[in-house]
């Protein structure tokens, strides 16, 4: 049996002395929560994405929660999103008292299409949340037309897609997108996220909701202190980012282009070598102009001589010291949703087909082409 010497995780953040020094400086400065570092990180994000406004938050999940609240999504409303996504979006829709409606995905890009979303529209639909899967981008133009035609909001789950581009736009440049800085994502702040938007009213509302619903004037925001007299304009949450996280994020953002280039090189080598393994089917690339940020390298395990299912395949790779990930198990197949919405099982064929077969291979900037060779060798060994 082929076994790699050292365990290769499927993801690992790239943290150097630059990040460690930046964080240490904040720790020594006497101001560690939301402050000047957060403002600097917001400005850097706005510039990087050619966006209008950026708000840094404690997670992407927090951003989605604030967004649903800001749009007033609640009982009686429907929100269209894929079921093949991270559970947080669907949980939040459910927690707001609204109904998640799952659009099926394209079998080979894992993303919703205008047609699949259109077939889910009702007069209760309030919001569409496509996911830019794995760092590729959803076909936004037809989705935007559909949303504006029906006067429905559209918000991009861009947790995988900082640095991705759609046609001549960078994600975040137009509309509203939410990024995640969880450690497995393309850049990290430990935990963290950001909402980027071209909508000034939404910006104002989210800034208020993210910190207890306090009215904070421009001077306060600039100084990042809050006057003790600030008062509640509406009940809000506590989803602000800390300066410790923002200092880490600022250094990471400087390296994002380099990270994406490293990922793209590894991905292209995977694509080349996977031609040798017919039991694994990689995803299809976008048919429209786009830049992939290669957050994940996903394959689907097809029928194979060994009769391995996906879970056994992941287990076999682990025995050979190769880590893998599963992004994602369809949400409607998980216990709560299975029990509360049993009628959905069997209605999302492309989602269910992929949910059983997908597997994320190791991909992170500090990996080498030799690491990819080990993965390929281990896969061949499992399947032969
Ligand atoms: C990671 C992720 C999120 C949530 O991000 P957090 O920062 O962990 O809240 C949301 N959607 C998708 C598709 C993700 O992968």
3-state secondary structure of 66: helix
Ligand 1 neighbourhood includes 84 CB (under 6 angstroms): no
Catalytic residue among 69, 114, 185, 210: 185
CB 107 within 8 A of CB 354: yes
Q: Quote the tokens at residue 113.
A: 């299409």
Residue 3 in any domain: the answer is no
Ligand 1 neighbourhood includes 360 CB (under 6 angstroms): no
Ligand 1 neighbourhood includes 160 CB (under 6 angstroms): yes
* 275 and 366 belong to one structural domain: yes
pLDDT tens, 5-44? 999 999 999 999 999 999 999 999 999 999 999 999 999 9
Ligand 1 neighbourhood includes 182 CB (under 6 angstroms): yes
* 208 and 261 belong to one structural domain: no
pLDDT tens, 86-144? 999 999 999 999 999 999 999 999 999 999 999 999 999 999 999 999 999 999 999 99
3-state secondary structure of 98: coil
Ligand 1 centroid–CA 184 distance in Å is 10
Closest CA to 247 of 289, 189, 292: 189
Residue 231 has a pLDDT of: 87
Closest CA to 194 of 252, 120, 139: 252
User: What span, in angstroms and rounded, lies between the C-alpha atoms of 334 and 87?
Assistant: 9
Residue 42 in any domain: the answer is yes
pLDDT above 50 (res 182): yes
Residue 2 in any domain: the answer is no
3-state secondary structure of 179: strand
Query: Residue whose CA is closest, atom 13 of ligand 1?
Result: 86
pLDDT above 50 (res 219): no
Q: From residue 105, give the alpha-carbon distance in Å to each of 116, 138, 331, 343, 345.
A: 7, 10, 13, 18, 15
83 Cβ partners below 8 Å, 6+ apart?
90, 102, 330, 331, 332, 333, 344, 348, 351
Q: Tell me what the mean pLDDT of segment 170-176 comes to.
A: 98
* 121 and 209 belong to one structural domain: yes
pLDDT band at 217 (very low <50, low <70, confident <90, very high): low
* 43 and 150 belong to one structural domain: yes
Q: Tell me what the mean pLDDT of segment 178-206 comes to.
A: 98
Residue 85 in any domain: the answer is yes
Q: From residue 26, give the alpha-carbon distance in Å to each of 30, 32, 55, 88, 246.
A: 7, 6, 20, 30, 10
Residue 195 bridge partners (DSSP): 55, 178
* 41 and 167 belong to one structural domain: yes
Query: What is the H or E stretch that residue 115 is in?
Result: helix 114-118
Residue 105 bridge partners (DSSP): 112
Ligand 1 centroid–CA 272 distance in Å is 29
Q: From residue 132, give the alpha-carbon distance in Å to each of 129, 166, 354, 379.
A: 10, 10, 16, 27
Q: Considering 255, 281, 308, which residue would you say is the last residue of a domain?
A: 255
* 104 and 119 belong to one structural domain: yes
Atom of ligand 1 nearest to the CA of 85: 13
User: What span, in angstroms and rounded, lies between the C-alpha atoms of 249 and 82?
Assistant: 29
pLDDT above 90 (res 220): no
pLDDT tens, 257-301? 999 999 999 999 999 999 999 999 999 988 999 999 999 999 999
* 287 and 219 belong to one structural domain: no
Q: Considering 233, 255, 277, which residue would you say is the last residue of a domain?
A: 255
pTM summary value: 0.97
* 272 and 147 belong to one structural domain: no
* 328 and 218 belong to one structural domain: no
Residue 109 in any domain: the answer is yes
Q: What is the CATH number of the domain that holds 281?
A: 3.90.1150.10
* 227 and 359 belong to one structural domain: no
User: What span, in angstroms and rounded, lies between the C-alpha atoms of 298 and 84?
Assistant: 13
CB 79 within 8 A of CB 97: no
User: What span, in angstroms and rounded, lies between the C-alpha atoms of 45 and 42?
Assistant: 5
Ligand 1 neighbourhood includes 188 CB (under 6 angstroms): no
Residue 377 in any domain: the answer is yes
3-state secondary structure of 11: coil
* 194 and 207 belong to one structural domain: yes
Closest CA to 246 of 34, 99, 54, 102: 34
Residue 221 has a pLDDT of: 53
Residue 11 in any domain: the answer is no
Q: Considering 255, 285, 317, which residue would you say is the last residue of a domain?
A: 255
Q: Is 185 a catalytic residue?
A: yes
Q: What is the CATH number of the domain that holds 85?
A: 3.40.640.10
Residues spanned by the domain of 261:
257-383
Residue 27 in any domain: the answer is yes
Where are the strands (E) in 2-134, listed by range?
53-57, 78-81, 99-102, 125-128
Structural domains in the chain (count): 2
* 274 and 212 belong to one structural domain: no
Query: Residue whose CA is closest, atom 5 of ligand 1?
Result: 60
Rounded to the nearest 5 degrees, what angle is found at the Cα of 55, between the Cα atoms of 51 and 58?
A: 140
């Amino acid at each position: 049996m082929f076994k790699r010497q050292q365990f290769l995780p499927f993801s690992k953040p790239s943290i150097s002395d630059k990040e460690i020094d930046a964080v240490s400086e904040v720790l020594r400065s006497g101001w560690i929560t939301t402050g000047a570092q957060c403002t600097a990180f917001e400005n850097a994000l706005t510039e990087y994405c050619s966006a209008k406004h950026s708000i840094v938050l404690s997670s992407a999940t927090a951003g989605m929660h604030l967004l649903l609240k800001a749009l007033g999504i609640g009982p009686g409303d429907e929100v269209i999103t894929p079921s093949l996504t991270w559970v947080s979006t669907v949980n939040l829709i459910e927690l707001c008292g609204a109904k998640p409606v799952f659009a099926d995905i394209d079998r080979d890009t894992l993303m919703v299409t205008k047609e699949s979303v259109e077939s889910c529209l009702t007069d209760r639909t309030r919001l569409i949340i496509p996911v830019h899967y794995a760092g590729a981008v959803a076909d936004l133009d037809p989705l935007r037309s559909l949303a504006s035609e029906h006067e429905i909001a559209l918000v991009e789950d861009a947790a995988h897609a900082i640095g991705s581009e759609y046609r001549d736009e960078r994600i975040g440049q137009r509309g509203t997108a939410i990024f995640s800085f969880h450690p497995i994502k393309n850049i990290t702040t430990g935990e963290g996220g950001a909402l980027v938007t071209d909508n000034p009213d939404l910006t104002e509302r989210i800034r208020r909701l993210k910190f207890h619903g306090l009215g904070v004037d421009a001077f306060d925001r600039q100084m990042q202190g809050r006057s003790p007299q600030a008062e509640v304009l509406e009940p809000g949450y506590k989803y602000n980012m800390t300066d410790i996280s923002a200092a880490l994020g600022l250094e990471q953002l400087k390296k994002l282009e380099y990270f994406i280039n490293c990922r793209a090189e590894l991905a292209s080598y995977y694509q080349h070598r996977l031609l040798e393994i017919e039991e694994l089917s990689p995803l299809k690339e976008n048919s429209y102009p786009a830049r992939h940020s290669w957050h994940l390298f996903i394959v689907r395990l097809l029928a194979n001589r060994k009769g391995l299912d996906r879970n056994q395949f992941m287990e076999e790779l682990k025995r050979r010291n190769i880590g893998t990930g599963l992004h994602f198990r369809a949400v409607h197949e998980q216990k709560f949703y299975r029990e509360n919405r049993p009628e959905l099982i069997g209605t999302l064929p492309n989602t269910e087909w992929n949910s059983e077969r997908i597997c994320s291979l190791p991909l992170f900037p500090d990996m080498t082409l030799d690491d990819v060779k080990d993965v390929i060798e281990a896969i061949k060994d499992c399947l032969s």
